[in-house]
Structure 1
């Protein structure tokens, strides 16, 4: 078939346009794929957990939770830009036996640091000292058996001599004994500088005020800081 000369320019234009369109379409698709790949979200590193497991002292009885010492630890960590999440596992009135019974629920997520603050209510109720020690050991064993790499910190506690001086003295010895037996870090006395000071405790004389928790935070923080 003979093509008229007047039609040739149009055919050449059409052919060139199709080629350019085809090339341009492939380039666009390539760029889009690259953009999608580049803009894909990189999963953020999961925050490691610091679990404070205790009684009303940990829970922050009588004050806002963020003003209790675990909340102050979270605030300090946030200010440092570190990826740690503090979980406050405090429950008012909790004993070592009660803590042991509810521990599994808190161990659904692996704690990087586990701070054990229990026993004070045992002492105030005159629970047999051997029972308190046995429960503290069992809590540590349960954490360690499930998460061998978790760093465990035991908060030492003291009680007033309501149950007699001998009981009080023996109670105080439980914590260093447990810490030594299980090779965990010991905070000698959680309420150092706070216990017995009316200006730093609520009217019940047992639970710290916001100012008291600031001091407790100062006692606890160095033990957290050296592990993060």
Structure 2
């Protein structure tokens, strides 16, 4: 079974050694749990939801059976309109659904410097996306890591190796469910 992790630098492991990156640590956790799944690294540092839509065909080239979608961080950092991000992520989810690929969508929060109105619109976009039928949803990819210096790199954006382990441990119950859904479709 192939599990695509489609995302940005948080998925790609910016600033980390390959074996410390999200996809590698996730693969280790999947192997340890005895699940038969291979993680495909579809993370591109700096990518926005617009970029992810543009490269989706490439990412689907290995015919994944399931997908984790982690996007939005760079949209927020660049002040992209939340409605545009929502349309892009919806287009990705639609394409995956058309191919009968179960999805775990992991949300993001807007950077605090963008203001409360932007933050509310950003959160509302993920809230609407979270209600799509059949979608597994995690509200915040960096939950338990953001604002915790022990789990962040010096840029206070990207997780360090310990932070990646926290993220993977937190997501594993949903990853297990995602793999189960893919096997039963």
TM-score computed with the length of structure 2 as normaliser: 0.91
CA contact (8 A) 1:59 1:92 kept: yes
Runs of at least 4 residues off by over 6 Å = none
Unaligned residue ranges in structure 2 (runs of 5+): 180-185
Paired position in structure 2 for 1:197: 148
> For residues 45-87 of structure 1, what are the alpha-carbon distances to aligned partners after superposition, in whole Å with 9 as ceiling and x for unaligned?
xxx1011000000001101122122211211222344321101
Alpha-carbon RMSD across the aligned residues, in angstroms, is: 1.4
Matched, 1:57 2:10: yes
Equivalent of residue 87 in structure 2, options 118, 121, 134: 134
Aligned: 1:172 with 2:123: yes
CA, structure 1 residues 138+182, in 2 after alignment: closer, same or farther (shift >3 Å)? farther
Name the structure 1 match of 2:162: 211
* Residues 1:120 and 2:79 are matched in the alignment: no
Q: Quote how far apart the aligned CAs of 1:116 are.
A: 0.5
Q: Structure 1: where are the runs of 5+ without partners? A: 1-47
Could you say which residue in structure 1 is the equivalent of 2:58?
Answer: 105
> Aligned residue pairs: how many?
179
- Indicate the structure (1 or 2) with the bigger Cα radius of gyration: 1
Residue by residue, what CA displacement relative to the aligned partner does 1:111-161 show, whole Å, maximum 9, x if unpaired?
A: 12210001111011111111010000001111222x22x111100111222
Q: Residue 162 of structure 1: SS of its match in structure 2?
A: helix
Bigger drift between 185-194 and 169-178 goes to 169-178
Higher relative contact order, structure no. (Cα contacts within 8 Å, ≥ 6 residues apart): 2
Matched, 1:72 2:25: yes
TM-score (structure 1 length as normaliser): 0.75
Which secondary structure does the structure 2 equivalent of 1:111 belong to?
A: coil
